[in-house]
A and B are shown apart, each in its own frame.
Chain A
């Protein structure tokens, strides 16, 4: 495997190296800038720990919300057949390309005091603005597309043949989902969840616009870094490094996990297309 033909021209490596340096150099610059003797006191200050704790808690909550809302969305987009499906997909993916500030403004006019839903919520005694809930909503808004995209891809590449077989064996749609579909796309779901978590962790613009910034309530780690930068550059740098470390840990962990799981999955289910099978009954059927 290792010694097989690669087909990559040598000069590509030069540009690839440039790309890698472009990403790694700024990170190295942050590391170089860290005031190491003060590092521990800086990152373990009360405000830092509060911000880190809040970030981890809200990112976890956002990820959970992304799973609850994103799995059905991905299923509908990957398996459903209805008018406006492409349009729906484009809109769901919109937060990927939208500046987070715009997301924050949109959320404000939805859940804010004067917003579309906010007014009714306010009457019901629910205040979202300036609350931790607002942070979770902002993070979910920007992170949801990551889960949907990655899960929809997994669903499409898994195909619906296993599901069709399960149905003919007498499994109700809910049983098929629980016992066949979800286990099959578990690696895709896991990596989608991790991406969502990482995106939530780094969320800044929408939170700033929509949720405000108060220690312990809405001031997540990125907001804390932004604020510390005003007065204490050392603290900002130290916290930046902390955020980078958490992100690297999360992403690194997951990319090993699902990667291995995916390899196991594909090994167990060889899906080699066969010549001469002109019309197998389990090919995805167009209406």
Chain B
């Protein structure tokens, strides 16, 4: 009886440690962030911030924020930025459930407002970039799309985002203001899925953000259209209220909203006015 009991305890202990280890390795590694905290709070006010910063950012910010994080680490030796990218609503849900993020950058103001309303932010959110829609077509442009109205031509296979996600809401706004009604063959739940359908050649055209067209390089051709200005998407950034490293978080927000941030974001196609 003794041995099995000891064995049971062993297995239980092993299980727990495996689970813990897995958690520590998860995006936004909470354990790492907490351990870095001591250094920054115990030091004098003007001491250089150190430690790990966990940044949750919308998927469309992947390229720019990866670059900015590297710049931030270079400018602040001793710091490390852990990035976690996902759909804005996913990020908001995760933070509401207690995910250990220090900074949140969302692709729309609506999702950020949810956090603000719940009192989960440290101070107000700051808008740092805008994004507008563009038409993405395969490089050969098989359906000869030249304008937004072309998308409504019969036989053109258009893919858009579903109305429930920000890019779909933007598309709906453009449709409404132009009076052009699209008959999409698919309403995807993310920009990535829309882009995927265009790059694979399944769709003749897709409505995505200008920044997505830039990121995709020569796999798709971007066709900007004036009506896109009817639905401008605004990106807000904020420090999370539960952050244990608010100095570092504030420094990162300052970088994103400052000149360095404007440069990187502007290069990627974002509006940074």
Contact = CB atoms under 8 A, between A and B. Distances in A.
A254 interface: no
B84 interface: no
A113 interface: yes
A232 B203 CA distance: 28
Interface string A13-25: 0110000000000
Contact of A213 (B8, B11, B187): B187
Interface residues of B, number: 26
A15 B11 contact: yes
Interface string A158-202: 000000000000000000000000000000000000000000000
B273 interface: no
A114 B184 contact: no
A108 B201 CA distance: 10
Interface string B1-13: 0001101100100
Interface in A205-222: 208-209, 211-215, 218-219
B189 A223 contact: yes
Given A108-B200, A112-B201, A230 B8 contact: no
Interface centre among A114, A212, A232, A233 (most CB of B within 10 A): A212
B185 A228 contact: no
B159 A114 contact: no
Contacts of A229: 89
B4 A9 contact: yes
Given A112-B202, A113-B202, A114-B200, A11 B5 contact: yes
Given A15-B11, A112-B200, A129-B202, A213 B162 contact: yes
A39 interface: no
A211 B186 CA distance: 8
A230 B185 contact: no
A258 B201 CA distance: 45
A213 B188 contact: yes
A212 B4 CA distance: 52
Given A112-B202, A228-B164, A231-B164, A213 B186 contact: yes
B201 A113 contact: yes
A9 B162 CA distance: 54
B266 interface: no
A227 B162 contact: yes
A11 B12 CA distance: 12
Closest 9 CB pairs of A and B: A212-B186, A130-B185, A230-B164, A114-B201, A231-B164, A11-B4, A129-B202, A230-B89, A227-B189
Interface of A: 9-11, 14-15, 108-109, 112-114, 129-130, 208-209, 211-215, 218-219, 223, 226-233
Interface of B: 4-5, 7-8, 11, 87, 89, 93, 157, 159, 162, 164-165, 184-189, 193, 196-197, 200-203
